[in-house]
Amino acid sequence: MNVAARAAKADERITAETAAEHGLSAEEYKLLLGALGREPSLTELGIFSVMWSEHCSYKSSKVWLRKLPTEGPQVLQGPGENAGVVDLGDGQAAVFKMESHNHPSYIEPYQGAATGVGGIMRDVFTMGARPIANMNALRFGAPDHPKTRHLVASVVSGIGDYGNCMGVPTVGGETNFDPRYNDNILVNAMCVGLVDSGRIFTSAAKGVGHPVVYVGSKTGRDGIHGATMASAEFDDASEEKRPTVQVGDPFTEKLLLEACLELMAEDAIVAIQDMGAAGLTSSSVEMADKGGVGIDLELDRVPTREEGMTAYEMMLSESQERMLMILKPGSEKTAERVFRKWELDFSIIGYTTDTGRLVVRHRGAVEADIPLAALAHAAPVYERPWTKTEPQPVVAPETVPAPDRQLAALGYLMSSPALVSRRWIWEQYDHMVMADTVQRPGGDAAVVRVHGTDKGLAISCDVTPRYCAVDPFEGAKQAVAECWRNLTAVGADPLAITDCMNFGNPERPEIMGEFAAAVEGMAEACAALSFPVVSGNVSLYNETNGVAIPPTPAIGGIGLIPDIAMMATIALKRPGDVLMLLGDEAGHLGQSLYLQAMLNRTFGAPPPVDLDAERRTGDSVRSLIRAGAVSAVHDVSDGGLLVAIAEMALAGGHGVVLDALVGPRPAHATWFGEDQARYVIAADPDKADAIHKAAAAAKVPLRLLGRVGGDAIVLDGEPPLPLATLKAAHEGWLPYFMAHG
């Protein structure tokens, strides 16, 4: 029987079989009986099943997540709240988080993606912050898979429609195409907000006898058991899960945002939490548990969209655009006035108590009466068995076939799905609303001005799934390092990250091994780069019929630019500038895009990440930017050095003349190797000496690459590659693909 249809049979006996249909194992059901001391009602079973779901309880990931560094002088709030908070100085702070909406987005891509964006924005404004920028990290299947175009079009449209209507700029992100996502796309949405450090709101419902207030949209039957769906893998019948996907209404969310911020300016709120996954259940349980109180809910007072909703349905609905607040007694009138002004539902649906229990009443009957500790803390915690991913051999550059011409390979790479311009995507996002976007999509990191100041917040989302697939430890290190590098490349001091851990079924030891290694790799990189994790989300069971996605620990990082006048961009600006490479070269071609594009397969070990070199090189580049010594900066990542140079040329509309290579290393390894910890910089020739000296003092290798000028990429002994040709191929692929397949 469909779980959501259970509600009609509220009086049935609960058995281990019913529990299994709710996603609870036989052992978990035994644990539940012990925690409750009796057989649960259907409503109680539903509440337990969502609170103990992987999505809400982190039962498989918890033991590993404890290894992540979460502290630093800049951290005002680490993991455990709706979002993380870092200090920006001058009494202001950034609130941010990234979250997955993978399962719903595959089943219903438009609504799934839209509500993912809506949910992450609520997590941010719940804490009192005004959202100032959105980003997203998207993984789709192979371009030639029959569903890919539909999924891309609908996901992008869903993200755009929601963020655009909210008036929050979507300033960038990343998109991959890979056949391993054919049946499990990933939609990870990130939001960054700005708050006064002294006005941060949290979710601990401290104090007894306080009114519990429901605001926002009415409750409907949509999204029931969404959290449970997100905690199971897919099979051929997954399309039937469409009713578990929520429906978004960005207009209501915009009103909710303004109303919440307006009320937050008054001294009325004790605690506030958005109703996200597991809706009313998880918001009430988490708030009461954190506040050390009990909570009584009167469901007859919950505004509903449909007639005859049962307690089970109301507790499990994931209808969007709803918030739960605990008010200071006497503030009810003030709050009601604000929410009525914004034409939103407002209802006092209960009170905090001293019982330590969640008591749910509906139509005169007690539908649930559960000790909160059982829901929040008695959930099982698993130390699942795991196996290590088999390491791959390092690829010797000499063994990789060379292209006929380097520039032909460059043209081919720049017009491959992995590297083509994502303009078709981000032009559907309003990336300029709020009039503070000082660096638009397409660069290393987006930068939004801190409103009313000269400071900038740099934001970047990064992970390279093909690296993680063969070496999750090194791949996760690389994801953190690349994010740190992208923020550095615009001149920011990297502050902290949020993570979105997308993996397959953790009950399989090889998947659990990927997760464990990725956490350890992240932990090492975060510690070495002083780049702590302040919020995040784990999405497991991203697999269909036993085939899992590659491990995808998406990293969303933010950094602070003290003065946006000293911000760097990737665009070449002046003919005559010299082009230089900072960082060490090894010609590492394992798992490179060169292999993927030219040989149609990747193999070997991914490039190793030397975190000392990352830090040394990055700190050196940032100093040069702050000193005004450089005119353009770009980190070297996917595709390698020549791709980075070509991207700088296209962005600025200036060609480059490159010096002939010297030394024994094959040219294609130099041009297309994906060695880490490198940056290309452009600078006035007058400043070259000072840059050389600064790099030498910092023990950072520096090599002269050539000069800016002309309208082509010029390489010794090859026909020049005109920028116009390169641009047409680079810009043309995605629009053509979306129009014609």
Partner 1 sequence: MRASVIVFPGSNCDRDAAVALHAATGSAPAMVWHGDSEIPASDLIVLPGGFSYGDYLRSGAMAAHSPVMREVVARAKAGTPVLGICNGFQVLTEAGLLPGVLMRNATLKFICRDVLLRVERNDTAFTRHYAKGEVVRFPIAHKDGSYFADEATLDRLEGEGRVAFRYCNAEGAITAPANPNGSRRNIAGIYNERRTVLGLMPHPERLADPTLSGTDGAKMFLSLVETLH
Give the number of other CB atoms < 10 A from CB of residue 682: 28
343 vs 689, beta carbon nearer partner 1: 343
Give the number of other CB atoms < 10 A from CB of residue 482: 26
Q: Does 157 bind partner 1 (CB under 8 A)?
A: yes
Rounded to 5°, angle at Cα 321 from 342 and 242 = 145
Q: Does 453 bind partner 1 (CB under 8 A)?
A: no
Contact pick of 435, 599, 690, 728 for partner 1 (by CB under 8 A): 435
Q: Does 437 bind partner 1 (CB under 8 A)?
A: yes
Rounded Cα distance between 540 and 534, Å, is: 20
Applying the rule CB under 8 A, the residues between 331 and 350 that interact with partner 1 are 341-343
71 vs 563, beta carbon nearer partner 1: 563
Which window, 121-129, 155-163, 321-329, 541-549, contacts partner 1 (CB under 8 A)?
A: 155-163
Q: In whole angstroms, how close is the CB of 724 to partner 1 at the nearest point?
A: 15
449 vs 616, beta carbon nearer partner 1: 449
Beta-ladder partners of 456: 449, 561
DSSP per-residue codes, 272-313: EEE--TTHHHHHHHHHHHHHT-EEEEEGGGS-BSSTT--HHH
Q: Could you give the angle at which helices 723-740 and 641-652 cross, rounded to 10 degrees?
A: 90
117 vs 496, beta carbon nearer partner 1: 117
Contact pick of 429, 594, 672, 679 for partner 1 (by CB under 8 A): 429
Contact pick of 430, 444, 499, 647 for partner 1 (by CB under 8 A): 430
215: nearest Cα among 349, 35, 316, 330 = 349
Contact pick of 44, 108, 249, 524 for partner 1 (by CB under 8 A): 249
Applying the rule CB under 8 A, the residues between 668 and 697 that interact with partner 1 are none
What is the 3-state composition of the chain as percent helix, strand, coil, each rounded to the nearest 5? Answer: 40, 25, 40
Give the number of other CB atoms < 10 A from CB of residue 563: 12
Q: In whole angstroms, how close is the CB of 624 to partner 1 at the nearest point?
A: 22
Q: In whole angstroms, how close is the CB of 444 to partner 1 at the nearest point?
A: 17
Q: Does 122 bind partner 1 (CB under 8 A)?
A: no
408 vs 738, beta carbon nearer partner 1: 738
Applying the rule CB under 8 A, the residues between 633 and 652 that interact with partner 1 are none
Rounded Cα distance between 515 and 538, Å, is: 10
Q: Are 351 and 216 in contact (CB under 8 A)?
A: no
439 vs 596, beta carbon nearer partner 1: 439
Q: Are 270 and 138 in contact (CB under 8 A)?
A: no
Q: Two tokens at 619?
A: 């700190």
Which window, 162-170, 477-485, 596-604, 650-658, contacts partner 1 (CB under 8 A)?
A: 162-170
Q: Does 252 bind partner 1 (CB under 8 A)?
A: yes
Which window, 45-53, 161-169, 373-381, 618-626, contacts partner 1 (CB under 8 A)?
A: 161-169
Collapsing DSSP states into helix, strand and coil, what is residue 75?
strand
Q: Two tokens at 573?
A: 């600006």
Q: In whole angstroms, how close is the CB of 617 to partner 1 at the nearest point?
A: 29
Q: Two tokens at 506?
A: 């953790």
Task: Please say if 55 is a catalytic residue.
Answer: yes
Which window, 188-196, 225-233, 248-256, 366-374, contacts partner 1 (CB under 8 A)?
A: 248-256
Beta-ladder partners of 105: none
Contact pick of 45, 165, 534, 633 for partner 1 (by CB under 8 A): 165
Residue 451 Cα distances to 165, 193, 260, 310, 434, angstroms: 20, 11, 20, 46, 9
Q: Does 250 bind partner 1 (CB under 8 A)?
A: yes
Residue 518 Cα distances to 65, 177, 210, 231, 553, angstroms: 10, 21, 43, 20, 7
Q: Are 533 and 498 in contact (CB under 8 A)?
A: yes
341 vs 693, beta carbon nearer partner 1: 341
Contact pick of 99, 161, 178, 474 for partner 1 (by CB under 8 A): 161
Which window, 172-180, 421-429, 457-465, 538-546, contacts partner 1 (CB under 8 A)?
A: 421-429
# residues contacting partner 1 (CB under 8 A)? 31
160 vs 226, beta carbon nearer partner 1: 160
Site string for partner 1, 515-554 (x = CB under 8 A): ----------------------------------------
Q: In whole angstroms, how close is the CB of 145 to partner 1 at the nearest point?
A: 22
Q: Are 272 and 206 in contact (CB under 8 A)?
A: no
Burial class (CB in 10 A: 0-12, 13-18, 19+), 364: exposed
Q: Among residues 101, 362, 588, 654, which one is catalytic?
A: 101
Task: Please say if 588 is a catalytic residue.
Answer: no
Q: Does 434 bind partner 1 (CB under 8 A)?
A: yes
Element holding 314 (H helix, E strand): helix 311-316
Which window, 16-24, 331-339, 434-442, 511-519, contacts partner 1 (CB under 8 A)?
A: 434-442
Q: Does 119 bind partner 1 (CB under 8 A)?
A: no
Contact pick of 55, 122, 254, 477 for partner 1 (by CB under 8 A): 254
Applying the rule CB under 8 A, the residues between 33 and 92 that interact with partner 1 are none
Q: Among residues 55, 431, 654, 730, which one is catalytic?
A: 55
258 vs 584, beta carbon nearer partner 1: 258
Q: Does 401 bind partner 1 (CB under 8 A)?
A: no
Q: Does 433 bind partner 1 (CB under 8 A)?
A: yes
Q: Could you give the angle at which helices 509-528 and 611-626 cross, rounded to 10 degrees?
A: 40
Q: Does 251 bind partner 1 (CB under 8 A)?
A: yes
330: nearest Cα among 270, 285, 274 = 270
408 vs 433, beta carbon nearer partner 1: 433
| Distance, CA of 352 to chain centre | 34
Q: In whole angstroms, how close is the CB of 345 to partner 1 at the nearest point?
A: 15
Q: Are 360 and 299 in contact (CB under 8 A)?
A: yes
- The region that residue 600 occupies, defined by phi over 0 for left and psi between -120 and 50 for alpha, beta otherwise, is left
| Distance, CA of 553 to chain centre | 9
Q: Are 142 and 178 in contact (CB under 8 A)?
A: yes
Q: Could you give the angle at which helices 406-414 and 723-740 cross, rounded to 10 degrees?
A: 30
Beta-ladder partners of 174: 137
Q: In whole angstroms, how close is the CB of 349 to partner 1 at the nearest point?
A: 24
Q: Are 495 and 532 in contact (CB under 8 A)?
A: no
Collapsing DSSP states into helix, strand and coil, what is residue 546?
coil
249 vs 482, beta carbon nearer partner 1: 249
Longest dimension (CA), the chain: 86
Q: In whole angstroms, how close is the CB of 723 to partner 1 at the nearest point?
A: 17
Q: Does 449 bind partner 1 (CB under 8 A)?
A: yes
Which window, 111-119, 330-338, 345-353, 433-441, contacts partner 1 (CB under 8 A)?
A: 433-441
Known catalytic residues?
55, 101
Q: Which residues lie near partner 1 (CB under 8 A)?
A: 157, 160-161, 164-167, 249-252, 254-255, 341-343, 426-438, 449, 564
